[in-house]
Structure 1
Amino acid sequence: MIDHYCERIDAGILAEPINAFTNISFLIAFFCLLPLSKARFQYLAAGERIILIALLGLLLAIGFGSTAFHTLANRWSLMADVIPITLFQLVFLGGYLRYVARVSLVFVAIALIGFLLAGAMLGRLSLGINGSESYLAPLLFITAMGIYHKVTAQNGSWMLLLTTGVFVCSLGFRTIDNAICSVWPIGTHFLWHLINGVVLFLCTRVFLMCAGEKDYSFEAKLA
């Protein structure tokens, strides 16, 4: 049994009902994105469509993988939880840089390698933040992207900075989970799930708003 959270006190598959159930946030994000995805799909190039489909598919995979981990709490379910999250980060970063920032494939490759190296190095730190060290690299990168997004006045210029703030909030709840077990036995990890559904929704929506050809009726709705 892998036990990282307040709510789990035994090896049973129903030991984390709240942590498991709140993964519904990722499914809600998926279904909320579907109408906009369908509306924008015709304006996307082939590569952009691949990125969008990957992001939507990974949203579902994150929801199901995290649910598996918070019910089974073993090594294979841990991988089912961690791998889709990592892939979503890489796909979004690569897709944003290539199709929103419009940088070269070489730059995209360098950025992805830098992201992985930063994650590996920061993840090895022992800062006493309940394993949240591995999420410091995504926080740094999305902050930098949010600043770029605002400075270059992209569609929804504030949205990635908002996403950064929301992610800081969710990371805070993940970090304090074990520290408050004695006063709040169910912990706060479930809030990490709920708020991260919003984070991934916003990331995907930013991509949809900015990638592809101009849809002037869509642009007018944003004005």
Structure 2
Amino acid sequence: MNWFEQVDLYCERTDFTYWSEPLNATTNLAFIIAAIIFWRRSAGLPMARALSGILFVIGVGSFLFHTHATNWAMMADVLPIGIFILTYLFVVNRDMVPMGGWLAVFATALFIPYAAIVVPVLNRIPFIAISNFYWTVPILLVLYAAFLRKRPGIAQGFLFGAGLLSLSIVIRSLDQILCDVFPIGTHFMWHVLNGIMLGWMIHVYIRHMLATGAAGR
């Protein structure tokens, strides 16, 4: 792979100048603002602080991608997202299910074969295939909500997050489809909704940890 090769994936970009995606670049503030808010609210909760830090990095990485538009910047965009997913899944397994530490690690690692099975299935559905990997997350949130249905605070929090993320993914998938009628694209709304959604998921975790008196984990 040529790490410095430039890529054009979104409606808003019309050339490879630095500010060719002004909305896609600046709306990454949604991630950074949410990260700052929940960093302040997560004192005494190390894993909530870790999630807030990763959320901040998501904002920075996405900004780099929507300005530099290169393969290396794309990796700076997607890797923090993957790290956030796995980290959040770990704290769900460890603190909300809950499981022992090593069992939580093993259950978290199962996300990889889960995604490997689900993504090819999603690829068979035309519109869903556009954002195939991202759909694995709301599906998993719904499954966890069903498993944790006797804990309504967690289950409802997960279902709300799944619904918000599903809306966000639909908007992301419409970007290239609507280029001709909406030249600025829809990707910037994906950033705003995801900043809200990821902040919400951190809130659900913080709320649970404070309610169970599990500060310090």
Normalising by structure 1, report the TM-score: 0.84
SS in 2 for 1:181: coil
Offset from partner CA, 1:18-72 (integer Å, 9 cap, x none): 001111100111122134212xx2xx5xxxx2x2222011011000000000000
Kindly report which structure 2 residues correspond to 1:131-146, keeping only aligned pairs within 5 A, or say none: 131-146=130-145
CA spacing shift, 1:126–1:61, aligned 2, 3 Å: farther
1:190 paired residue among 188, 194, 204: 188
Instruction: Give the deviation of 1:107 after TM superposition.
Output: 3.8
Tell me the equivalent position of 1:19. 24
Q: Is the 8 A contact 1:146 1:160 kept in 2?
A: yes
Instruction: Give the deviation of 1:121 after TM superposition.
Output: 4.1
Instruction: Give the deviation of 1:164 after TM superposition.
Output: 0.8
| CA distance in structure 1 between the aligned counterparts of 2:87 and 2:115, rounded to whole angstroms | 15
2:108 paired residue among 109, 112, 132: 112
Q: What are the ranges of 5 or more consecutive residues in structure 2 without an aligned counterpart? A: 1-5
Instruction: Give the deviation of 1:157 after TM superposition.
Output: 4.6
Percent identity of paired positions between Structure 1 and Structure 2: 31
Instruction: Give the deviation of 1:11 after TM superposition.
Output: 0.9
| CA distance in structure 2 between the aligned counterparts of 1:140 and 1:120, rounded to whole angstroms | 14
CA RMSD of the aligned region, Å?
2.0
| CA distance in structure 2 between the aligned counterparts of 1:198 and 1:138, rounded to whole angstroms | 15
User: Is structure 2 residue 179 aligned with structure 1 residue 177?
Assistant: no
Tell me the equivalent position of 2:200. 202
Tell me the equivalent position of 1:9. 14
| CA distance in structure 2 between the aligned counterparts of 1:211 and 1:104, rounded to whole angstroms | 16
SS in 1 for 2:91: helix
Instruction: Name the amino acid aligned to 1:201.
Output: G
Instruction: Give the deviation of 1:126 after TM superposition.
Output: 5.5
Kindly report which structure 2 residues correspond to 1:25-44, keeping only aligned pairs within 5 A, or say none: 25-38=30-43, 41=44, 44=45
Q: Is the 8 A contact 2:7 2:69 kept in 1?
A: yes
Q: Is the 8 A contact 2:61 2:77 kept in 1?
A: yes
Q: Is the 8 A contact 1:163 1:203 kept in 2?
A: yes
| CA distance in structure 2 between the aligned counterparts of 1:161 and 1:14, rounded to whole angstroms | 36
Pairs aligned (count): 205
Instruction: Name the amino acid aligned to 2:7.
Output: I
1:100 paired residue among 93, 96, 101: 96
CA spacing shift, 1:10–1:127, aligned 2, 3 Å: farther
Instruction: Name the amino acid aligned to 2:100.
Output: S
Instruction: Name the amino acid aligned to 2:61.
Output: G
